[in-house]
Amino acid sequence: MVPDRRAVANILGCLTALFAVRVLGQALQFWVPIALLPSFEQFQGSHLPYSVLLPAQLLILGLMVRGAWFVRSNEAHVGAKAGQLLTWLGGIYLAGSISRIAIGLAVPSAPSWFRAPISEIFHLVLAGYVLVLARVRAPCPRDLAKETYA
């Protein structure tokens, strides 16, 4: 069964918006700190310099926007093999993200990378995006026939 593309696009849009809020929040804390937001250090989930992290985040955000737009406009189709690959990659990413959280909770002496809740949450968001995107399939003839004769 082919998922409703508008629903998928809406989910991708929401996940993209969540990630955009995270990127914006960290950028604000870097340039003009706001007392209501977590500190810049709380946003930082690694020792990657922000001068490298921000462009990477903006690239990811751009790809997320593009993916959601293509799904919404019916221009994006993920073939069966690509869908399987995205499902596997998203599943591995999700499992790794959950493992990171579990280690951070279970091992008090774990390095700070395992205890960065904002970063951890948004890795779950990104993994979710990949898994949702994997569900976008080009309709197979069998599905088209069901719609035509239904």
pLDDT tens digits, one per residue of 88-115: 999 999 999 999 999 999 999 999 889 9
pLDDT tens digits, one per residue of 47-88: 899 999 999 999 999 999 999 998 988 776 778 888 899 999
pLDDT tens digits, one per residue of 7-20: 999 999 999 999 99
pLDDT for res 113 = 87
User: Distance between CA atoms of 19 and 65, rounded to whole angstroms?
Assistant: 10
As a whole number, mean pLDDT of residues 14-33 equals 97
Three state DSSP letters for the chain: CCCCHHHHHHHHHHHHHHHHHHHHHHHHHHHCCCCCCCCHHHHCCCCCCHHHHHHHHHHHHHHHHHHHHHHHCCCCCECHHHHHHHHHHHHHHHHHHHHHHHHHHHCCCCCHHHHCHHHHHHHHHHHHHHHHHCCCECCCHHHHHHHHHC
By C-alpha distance, which of 67, 54, 62, 76 is closest to 129?
67
Residue bearing the bigger pLDDT, 72 or 26:
26
As a whole number, mean pLDDT of residues 13-40 equals 97
Instruction: Tell whether the torsion through CA atoms of 124, 125, 130 and 131 is positive or negative.
Output: positive
142 pLDDT exceeds 80? no
pLDDT tens digits, one per residue of 113-130: 899 999 999 999 999 999
Strand partners, 137: 78
